[in-house]
């Protein structure tokens, strides 16, 4: 069985990319074969270099043809891991049910345009909810609206700050994302939505 070929899109430091690189390093199920970023200073590029994974810096992240060229040929699954740009509709269409995103909250709450990083955790704390968490979902044409695949819950503790909550949520991200990728690979990247939890 040929491992599922995974491309990771990242805009920042790439800690979720690293979690995938570590988890899939010797996996017969899936392998990270490409990293794509919209920012030449993204820490994800150094992580890709250290792992020997080819990387592409997009000149124009809104250019569907450029992004498709970076992903094709040979990518089976696209993982958005801290990628802060809206994926152009032709790319979403090309990878329908084969493109997933990880979001640092329990969608559908605390998602949408501009909801990333510290802003998400500030919104969670301002809402007064007792728990936050992580959502892995399919990518569609809108921010954070695709069908949910899996979630992991994280308690909001008394005295939490955006930083302390973010650290706890990030640990859950690093556990959940590789599990979802491996399970999708085990199922052969189904052509229909999968709900794992």
Buried b (16+ CB within 10 A) or exposed e, 130-169: eebbbbbbbbbeebbebebbbbbebebeeebebeebbebb
Say how far apart CA 123 and CA 104 lie, in whole Å: 11
- What beta strand segments (E) does 10-76 contain? 30-37, 55-57
| Catalytic site residue from 25, 103, 121, 137 | 103
Return phi, psi of residue 108, to 5°: -85, -5
Q: Are strands 55-57 and 30-37 parallel, antiparallel or unpaired?
A: parallel
Say how far apart CA 130 and CA 152 lie, in whole Å: 14
- Tell me the CA distances in angstroms from 169 to 36, 152, 175, 180, one per residue in order: 24, 9, 10, 16
In the structure encoding, which two tokens stand for residue 143, read together? 């921010």
**Terminal CA-CA length for the chain:** 26
Is 103 one of the annotated active-site residues of the chain?
Answer: yes
In the structure encoding, which two tokens stand for residue 23, read together? 């988890």
Q: Which residues are catalytic?
A: 103
């Amino acid at each position: 069985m040929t491992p599922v070929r995974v491309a990771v899109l990242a805009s920042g430091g790439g800690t979720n990319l690293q979690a995938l690189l570590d988890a899939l390093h010797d996996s017969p199920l899936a392998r990270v074969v490409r990293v794509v970023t919209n920012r030449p200073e993204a820490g994800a590029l150094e992580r890709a270099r250290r792992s020997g994974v080819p990387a592409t810096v997009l000149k124009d992240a809104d250019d569907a043809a450029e992004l498709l060229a970076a992903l094709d040929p040979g990518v089976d699954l696209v993982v958005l891991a801290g990628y802060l740009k809206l994926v152009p509709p032709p790319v979403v269409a090309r990878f329908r049910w084969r493109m997933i995103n990880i979001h640092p909250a329990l969608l559908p709450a605390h998602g949408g345009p501009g909801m990333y990083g510290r802003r998400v955790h500030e919104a969670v704390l301002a809402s007064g909810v007792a728990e936050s968490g992580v959502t892995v979902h399919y990518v569609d044409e809108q921010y954070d609206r695709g069908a949910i695949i899996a979630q992991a819950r994280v308690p909001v503790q008394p005295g939490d700050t955006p930083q302390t909550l973010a650290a706890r949520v990030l640990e859950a991200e690093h556990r959940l994302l590789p599990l979802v990728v491996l399970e999708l690979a085990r199922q052969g990247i189904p052509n229909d939505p999968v709900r794992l939890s």
